[in-house]
A and B are shown apart, each in its own frame.
Chain A
Amino acid sequence: MKTTKFNKAHYILKGKMIDFFGWDLPVQFSGINDEHNAVRNTGGIFDVSHMGEIFFKGREALEAIQFITSNNAAKLVPGKIQYSALLTERGCFVDDLLVYMIDENHYLLVVNAANSEKDFNWITEKTSKFSVEIQNQSSEYSQIAIQGPVSEKLLSQFVDHDLSSIKYYHFITGQVRGIDSIISRTGYTGEDGFEVYFKSSEDQAVRLFLELVEKGKAEHVVPTGLGARDTLRLEVKMALYGNDIDDSHTVLEADLGWILKLKKGEFIGREPLLKQKETGISRKLIGFELKEKGIPRHGYPVYVDNQEYGMVTSGTFAPYLKKPIGLTYLPIGKAEVGSEFQIGIRNRKVLARVVDTPFYQRK
């Protein structure tokens, strides 16, 4: 199994380890509820080194990125980050990603763990006509996320930089305990927080992780596993590739129209999306709550007017909101807030209602 450079720290901290797409990673430490609520109230520390880092460098780096992504990367300036998507020819998802503009002609694309090889192959194939050098450095880079209201206070003790000057979706390059890093104010939790990327030895990485956990104790910050990462992102309706977004739903159907910039010029997937924008979508990703007892889970059947329509794409008991929530695609006309439908939970059909999203929003 693949290990991150923080792996030893997880064992020292007695994480409950699982095989996550071939990676040996902790699903939880003290418990998903505890960790989830720690991130909402104080902070949590996550190993997210399994994410993929792909660098673009060269005269046509921007043109290449514009061609393979849906958002308008020309709006970026050095130090700024953009949420975007790699789309198929049909306007569906190859993956969602973050685009970091490091400098003119120099960018970093951060992609999902399970997809980093698929994405790299897709990217290199689709950008062959551009003058750009593309490097997959996923295996060299570690990534640690410090998330929650006290994250700035905690991370500040490790850097010689004023973190308060970094705005949301911006980054700096600086040193974290002497290690050259990209420090970005981003995350997958709906809280304030940072994601730090660096190359280091295993010893340095383990020491940093343990030291963050140790210093974090005073503020009730805890090490956090993949379980809470999933429930945290779901409470704020951040899409998960493979669940809520995939290669059979378009970016418009996924309710991510804001990362689709049709006027920026030619890019993969543009033609069918232009058409879909004109004719309108027939289904949409919505958030729902249950009106009866039960917990919706990924894959449970969804019934609209008593006909099986689709399935729950993500579902859980939300640890902060303390109620069962989920996401699914519903037909337009049945997807408005307040609309009701049913979910099959084992041998029962349970009433669900479309609600406003995000389910949770930080104050």
Chain B
Amino acid sequence: MSLEGFKFTKDHEWVKSEADITTIGITDYAQKELGDIVYVELPSPGDKIKKGEACSNIESVKAVNDIYTPVTGEITEVNEALEDTPELINQDPYGSGWIFKIKLESHEELDDLMDQEAYNQYLKGISKE
């Protein structure tokens, strides 16, 4: 699958920036690792969040996982569909399973993230461990 324009973090979040708005979700690898997702605790629109902060929680049957925002800015929108259908993250992590949107303070933070090729390399490293 081609993920043109997507950037990735070592914590397995993805970030896609279009004009003013940046969308954040978790990667296919992350949703598979988590297993069946049964609950998502979303941030609130208007929340100001800093790079590296935990701002959302995703829970599978067995585990709770923090979602760290890889960028700084203000939350503009959250994916409310996840409240009743959290499994969207399992079914379509890069599409309808997006988690929240954020208005970036600075686009420079995006430069620190991996592109798809670098992320794939990173995953290969993980599976060898």
On A, residues with C-beta under 8 Å from B are 27-28, 31-34, 36, 227, 230-231, 293-295, 297, 316-317, 319, 324, 346
B72 → A minimal CB distance (Å): 21
Q: What is the number of contacts between chain A and chain B, taking CB atoms within 8 Å?
A: 42
- Which of A227, A294, A317: most chain B CB closer than 10 A? A317
- Which of B35, B38, B57, B62: most chain A CB closer than 10 A? B62
- A297 (CB) vs chain B CBs: closest residue: B64
Residues of B within 8 A of A32 (CB): 35-36, 60-62
Q: State A31–B38 Cα separation when bound (angstroms).
A: 12
Q: Mark B25-65, 1 if CB is under 8 A from A, else 0.
A: 00000000001101101000000000000000101111010
Q: State A293–B83 Cα separation when bound (angstroms).
A: 9
Residues of A within 8 A of B60 (CB): 32
- A32 (CB) vs chain B CBs: closest residue: B61
Contact at B61–A316, with CB atoms within 8 Å?
yes
Residues of B within 8 A of A31 (CB): 35-36
Count chain B residues whose beta carbon lies closer than 8 angstroms to a beta carbon of A: 12
Q: Mark B68-88, 1 if CB is under 8 A from A, else 0.
A: 000000000000000100000
Q: State A231–B60 Cα separation when bound (angstroms).
A: 12
Say what secondary structure dominates the interface of chain A. mixed
Q: State A31–B35 Cα separation when bound (angstroms).
A: 6
Additional pairs, 7, CB under 8 Å, beyond known A32-B61, A319-B61 = A27-B62, A28-B62, A32-B60, A34-B36, A36-B61, A316-B61, A317-B39
> Which 9 pairs between the two chains have the least Cβ-Cβ distance?
A317-B38, A33-B36, A32-B61, A227-B62, A295-B39, A295-B59, A31-B36, A31-B35, A317-B61
Q: State A231–B61 Cα separation when bound (angstroms).
A: 8
B65 → A minimal CB distance (Å): 12
Q: Which one of A33, A293, A294 lies within 8 Å of B61 (CB-CB)?
A: A33
B50 → A minimal CB distance (Å): 17
Q: State A36–B60 Cα separation when bound (angstroms).
A: 14
A56 → B minimal CB distance (Å): 36
Q: State A31–B90 Cα separation when bound (angstroms).
A: 11
Q: State A36–B59 Cα separation when bound (angstroms).
A: 17
